C-alpha cells in the first residue's frame, strides 16, 4: 500500500509539472502576440518555489554512459557491479553550470552515488586573464559535501579542495619543458594528513606512451604511491600497467573500443606480487563493458 501511495504521489507530481509547463508555454506565446483583439494571458505564479525548481530539472536526463562489471572470472563469470553517469549543461538566468549524476549499484543501489555542479565563476578572455572554476559534489551514501575551486592563468592552475567545510588539499598544476619532453607537474599539500604529494606525467615515444608517478612526503619519509605506464597499441586499443609498491599490487588493463561498435570492453588483471610462488593463482581477472546512451 505504501508503494502504491508513493507511485500515486509521484504520478500526481509529474502531472502537476506537466500542466505547469503547458501554462508557461501558453503564457509566453500569448504574451508575444500583439494586436487590439489579443490580450496577454497571465501566467500563474503562485506555484511553490520547489515545484518551479523541479520543473527546471525535469528534462535534464538526455545522455550519459553506463558500465557493467564482472566479478573475478577465475571464480566463474557473474555480475559484480553496475555504474552509470549522465549530465546536462544548464543556463539558469544567464548563469551556466553543468549538472552531473553518478550511480553505483554497490555504493548505493537504491539511489544516486554522487551529484555535482560545475562551471566557471569567471571566464578568461585570453591566456593573460584569470579563469575561476568550481565543482560542488554531494556524496549521497557518505552524506558529504565536497567543494573544489580552481584559478588558472598563464598555463598554471591552482586549486583548493574542501570536504564538509574543512580544507582538505591545496595544490597547483603546470606543464613544463625538460629538454625535448613535456612534463605535467602537480604538487599539492594534504592538510588533514599533513602530507606533501607530487604527481608527474609525461608522454614519450612520439606521444603513444605515457609514464606517470605519484610520490608522497610525510615526516621525512618518501613513499612512492604509484607508478604507471600506458601504451596506445593502435587507435581505439591501449594497455595500461599500474604498480602500487605499498600493497605490492600490479594492475594491467587492456581497453578495446573496436571490439564492438558503440561499446568499450576492458579486461583488468590484478596481480599480487608479495608471493612470487603464487602469482598466477592469486591473480584476479575482471571484464567490463561500457557504452553511451
Dump pLDDT digits (tens) for 258-288: 999 999 999 999 999 988 788 888 899 999 9
What are the extents of the domains in the chain?
1-58, 93-164
Q: pLDDT per residue over 59-93, tens digit each?
A: 444 579 999 999 999 888 889 999 999 999 988 77
Band of residue 126 on the pLDDT scale cut at 50, 70, 90:
confident
C-alpha cell at 270: 590484478
Band of residue 167 on the pLDDT scale cut at 50, 70, 90:
very high
Cβ-contact 114, 138 below 8 angstroms: yes
Q: How far apart are CA 70 and CA 265, in angstroms?
A: 12
**Angle (nearest 5°) at CA 57 between 20 and 139:** 145
Q: pLDDT per residue over 192-240, tens digit each?
A: 999 999 999 999 877 889 999 999 999 889 999 999 999 999 999 999 9
Q: How far apart are CA 267 and CA 254, in angstroms?
A: 5
- pTM as predicted: 0.73
Average pLDDT over residues 114-122: 94
Place of cell 551514501: 141
232-to-220, 257, 278, 292 alpha-carbon distances in Å: 37, 12, 30, 22
Cβ-contact 240, 255 below 8 angstroms: yes
For residue 15, pLDDT over 80 is answered with no
Amino acid at each position: 500500500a505504501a508503494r502504491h501511495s508513493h507511485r500515486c504521489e509521484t504520478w500526481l507530481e509529474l502531472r502537476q509539472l506537466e500542466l505547469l509547463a503547458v501554462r508557461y508555454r501558453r503564457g509566453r506565446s500569448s504574451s508575444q502576440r500583439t494586436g487590439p483583439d489579443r490580450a496577454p494571458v497571465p501566467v500563474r505564479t503562485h506555484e511553490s518555489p520547489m515545484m518551479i525548481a523541479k520543473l527546471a530539472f525535469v528534462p535534464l536526463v538526455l545522455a550519459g554512459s553506463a558500465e557493467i562489471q564482472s566479478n573475478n572470472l577465475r571464480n566463474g563469470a557473474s555480475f559484480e557491479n553496475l555504474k552509470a553517469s549522465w549530465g546536462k549543461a544548464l543556463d539558469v538566468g544567464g548563469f551556466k553550470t553543468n549538472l552531473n549524476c553518478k550511480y553505483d549499484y554497490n555504493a548505493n543501489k537504491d539511489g544516486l552515488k554522487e551529484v555535482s555542479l560545475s562551471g566557471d565563476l569567471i571566464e578568461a578572455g585570453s591566456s593573460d586573464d584569470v579563469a575561476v572554476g568550481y565543482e560542488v559534489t554531494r556524496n549521497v551514501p557518505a552524506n558529504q559535501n565536497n567543494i573544489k575551486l580552481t584559478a588558472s592563468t598563464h598555463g598554471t592552475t591552482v586549486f583548493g579542495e574542501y570536504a564538509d567545510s574543512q580544507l582538505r588539499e591545496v595544490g597547483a598544476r603546470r606543464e613544463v619543458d625538460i629538454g625535448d619532453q613535456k612534463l605535467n607537474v602537480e604538487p599539492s599539500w594534504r592538510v588533514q594528513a599533513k602530507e606533501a604529494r607530487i604527481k608527474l606525467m609525461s608522454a614519450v615515444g612520439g606521444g603513444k606512451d605515457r609514464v606517470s608517478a605519484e610520490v608522497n612526503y610525510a615526516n621525512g619519509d618518501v613513499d612512492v604511491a604509484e607508478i604507471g605506464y600506458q601504451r596506445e597499441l593502435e587507435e581505439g586499443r591501449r594497455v595500461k600497467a599500474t604498480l602500487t609498491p605499498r600493497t605490492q599490487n600490479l594492475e594491467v588493463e587492456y581497453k578495446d573500443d573496436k571490439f564492438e561498435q558503440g561499446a568499450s570492453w576492458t579486461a583488468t588483471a590484478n596481480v599480487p606480487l608479495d608471493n612470487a610462488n603464487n602469482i598466477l593463482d592469486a591473480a584476479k581477472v575482471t571484464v567490463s563493458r561500457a557504452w553511451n546512451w
